[in-house]
Amino acid sequence: MKTRNVKDYSQNWIQTVVAIVGLLFLILVNFGVLTPEQSAEAQPLIASTLGAVSSVIAGAVALIGLFFKQSE
């Protein structure tokens, strides 16, 4: 089994969160809180929203890196 490092977790966090949200939707559907159609419509929206959040975080980190770059 391959050992995982921090880089693996930072690249795959979106997949992990989408899987957790999918599990939450599955539980809500089983309890009758959501219909399967609502769950199917919401999952792509959640995935794209998380992708956008990831892009914003990466952009903010890049900007901070530019502002605090050490001069040579």
In a domain, 72, yes or no: no
pLDDT of residue 71: 65
Segments forming the whole domain that contains residue 29: 6-67
For residues 34 and 26, give the distance between their C-alpha atoms in angstroms, rounded to a whole number: 9
Mean per-residue pLDDT for 5-11? Answer: 63
- For the stretch 19-55, pLDDT in tens is 999 999 999 999 999 999 999 999 999 999 998 998 8
Total structural domains within the chain: 1
- State the DSSP code for 34: S
For residues 55 and 69, give the distance between their C-alpha atoms in angstroms, rounded to a whole number: 21
pLDDT of residue 1: 66
In a domain, 16, yes or no: yes
Please indicate whether residue 69 or residue 36 has the higher confidence score (pLDDT).
Answer: 36
In a domain, 58, yes or no: yes
For residues 54 and 68, give the distance between their C-alpha atoms in angstroms, rounded to a whole number: 21
